[in-house]
């Protein structure tokens, strides 16, 4: 069961609407959805909140240490409340997924994400991650500039759509039904099957039959005409 949900991002008005703060956007949505309020806690180096789910306290954390020091806040709160790595869900922006896409994952590397890197350094890599797609600039040299900029209105709507998908699956994630959620989120949409065009005879068998009968009648008339001509020819000889 998940007992701690961490939303990664950078603090301050300058960064609040940037792509790198997608994890915080979702954390705020969770707080709103479950009636929790976030407030500053110095000993946890961040904004914290809490709500109950199935009689269990679920804690929320937004590390305000800046992204590359996120692990300090996560280890401080998890140690204090004796929360294990596998009971932690980290929400973060993901370059390798398109806006509107979310994926659930456990373990693995940091993939160049400084927030994940620091959490792994302070804790380990056995926590769960909800990866929120923000897209990729197409050039690795532009990544830093890309994540620290605001998305377009169209991209923002798509990212928020992905967050809504994550919210829909959150109860199952909290309950620990991870494989079920992974299967659902990783499922590719099925392509619609193209209808096979029937043959003309299959489309209107009666019309086809009429055509055949008409052709047979015309053939008979032709044979009859030829026969008459041949008979006339014989008579003149």
Dihedral pair phi/psi, residue 42, rounded to 5°? -60, -40
Phi/psi-derived region of residue 24, left when phi > 0, alpha when psi is between -120 and 50, beta in every other case: alpha
Per DSSP, the three-state class of 96 is coil
User: Does the annotation mark 110 as catalytic?
Assistant: no
CA distance 156 to 135: 11
CA distance 29 to 11: 17
- Residue 213's contacts (CB-CB under 8 Å, 6 or more residues apart) are none
Of 20, 92, 113, 169, catalytic: 20
Which residues does the annotation mark as catalytic? 20
């Amino acid at each position: 069961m998940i007992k701690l949900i961490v939303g990664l991002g950078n603090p301050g008005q300058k960064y609040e609407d940037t792509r790198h703060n997608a994890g915080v956007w979702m954390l705020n949505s969770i707080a709103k959805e479950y009636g929790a309020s976030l407030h500053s806690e110095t000993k946890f180096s961040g904004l914290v909140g809490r709500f109950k789910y199935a009689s269990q306290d679920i804690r929320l954390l937004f590390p305000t240490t800046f992204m590359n020091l996120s692990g300090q806040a996560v280890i401080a709160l998890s140690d204090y409340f004796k929360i294990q790595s596998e009971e932690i869900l980290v929400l973060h922006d993901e370059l390798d997924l398109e806006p509107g896409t979310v994926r659930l994952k456990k373990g693995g590397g940091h993939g160049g994400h400084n927030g994940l890197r620091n959490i792994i350094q302070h804790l380990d890599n056995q926590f769960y991650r909800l990866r929120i797609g923000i897209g990729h600039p197409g050039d690795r040299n532009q990544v830093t500039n890309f994540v620290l900029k605001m998305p377009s209105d169209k991209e923002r709507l798509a990212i928020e759509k992905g967050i809504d998908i994550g919210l829909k699956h959150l109860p199952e994630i909290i309950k620990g039904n991870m494989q079920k959620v992974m299967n659902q989120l990783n499922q590719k949409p099925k392509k619609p099957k193209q209808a096979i065009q029937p043959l003309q005879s299959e489309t209107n068998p009666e019309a086809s039959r009429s055509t055949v009968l008409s052709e047979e009648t015309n053939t008979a008339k032709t044979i009859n005409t030829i026969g008459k001509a041949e008979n006339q020819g014989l008579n003149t000889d």
